[in-house]
């Protein structure tokens, strides 16, 4: 299902940089030209050789981004998931009790 409120942009080339703003970035500033809290993600580039006598050189360029999806323990009730990553550390707000941990850990 496509959200028609935002246009879809198809890139012909990967971006030179991705600007990322984490929710809890605070006053982090890495560059004087970027606003506080904005972190740049630059692509990495690797070269490797293939074939006999390394005749063919391949250059790989990629952005280190991993799409993810998260939801709360309340939302996970009644669901079964094949694989989960659970953060049972102290939350920035609210509390974590045994019920929260049990519900979250018993989903997988």
Q: Which residue has the higher pLDDT, 100 or 60?
A: 60
pLDDT surpasses 70 at 90: yes
pLDDT of residue 85: 79
pTM surpassing 0.85? no
d(C-alpha 38, C-alpha 25), whole Å: 8
- Residue-wise pLDDT for 6-50, tens only, equals 788 888 887 888 888 877 766 666 667 788 888 888 899 899 998
Helix/strand/coil for 15: coil
């Amino acid at each position: 299902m496509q959200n028609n409120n935002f246009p879809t942009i198809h890139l012909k080339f990967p971006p030179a940089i991705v600007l990322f703003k984490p929710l809890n970035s605070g006053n982090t500033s890495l560059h004087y030209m970027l606003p506080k809290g904005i972190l740049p993600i630059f692509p990495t580039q690797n070269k490797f050789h293939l074939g006999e006598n390394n005749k063919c050189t391949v250059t790989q360029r990629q952005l280190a981004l991993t799409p993810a999806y998260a939801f709360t323990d309340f939302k996970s009730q009644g669901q079964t998931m094949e694989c989960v990553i659970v953060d049972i550390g102290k939350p920035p707000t609210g509390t974590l009790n045994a019920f929260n941990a049990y519900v979250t850990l018993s989903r997988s």
